[in-house]
Amino acid sequence: MKQVGLFLLCWSMLLACNNNNIQQRNQVLGLRQMSDLATAEYIITKIIRANDNKTWYKWGDRKILMSCRASVKAGIDLSQLKAEDFQITGKKITLLLPPAKLISLNIPPENINIEYEEVGLFRSTFKTGERDALAAQAEAQIRNSADSLGILTTAKENAELFIRSFLMRAGYKEVVFSSNSPTTPALN
């Protein structure tokens, strides 16, 4: 009886050691209600080039060349529209739109490809985490220079185009956009 108990204890401990099931939380991290009208999307490409030869005690170099294709979306936040931004005179409406902003940056995993990899005799290949860290640097570079691509100007123009057609369909004969403040490159 004692031996059976000991066996069961060992068996349950063995099972506990091999238990590598993943338990997901039921709740999501957060939910945010928004009012963003995305009006422009740019599909961009970038080459990720890195050379791992800075650490003096590691023999040999590692070089990697990756390419990535990302989507950047921009538009306006409709929640920023206030009553004073609208001036209505008969069938004419004048609007002051909020500045355009970046809404999202998306680099899908399938759009990141290794083009070339060169690994020295005494070095190991780039692991998943290392490749992700390099791609994350590219992501930061894209994020920082997204506004210089001119997407905010395009987003503003497209927003005006859409709102004009929407309001004209709703019965207005003339839709005028008054000059607004400069675009902001804020990304959620």
Give, as ranges, the residues between 148 and 167 that touch other proteins (CB under 8 A).
149, 154, 158, 161-162, 166-167
Structure tokens at 135: 């791609």
Q: Indicate the residue among 44 and 185 with the shorter CB distance to other proteins.
A: 44
Among residue numbers 47 through 86, which ones bind other proteins (CB under 8 A)? 47-52, 54-58, 69, 71, 73, 75, 78-79, 81-83, 85-86
Type and span of the H or E element at 73: strand 62-77
Task: With CA atoms as reference, report the closest residue to 137 among 68, 44, 73, 71.
Answer: 68
Q: What is the C-alpha separation between 28 and 19, in angstroms, rounded?
A: 24
Pick 3 or 128: Cβ nearer other proteins: 128
Burial of 15 (0-12, 13-18, 19+ CB in 10 A): exposed
28 contributes a contact to other proteins by CB under 8 A: yes
Restricting to residues 100-159, name those near other proteins by CB under 8 A.
Answer: 103-110, 112-114, 127-130, 132-142, 145, 149, 154, 158
**Residue 17 interacts with other proteins (CB under 8 A)?**
no
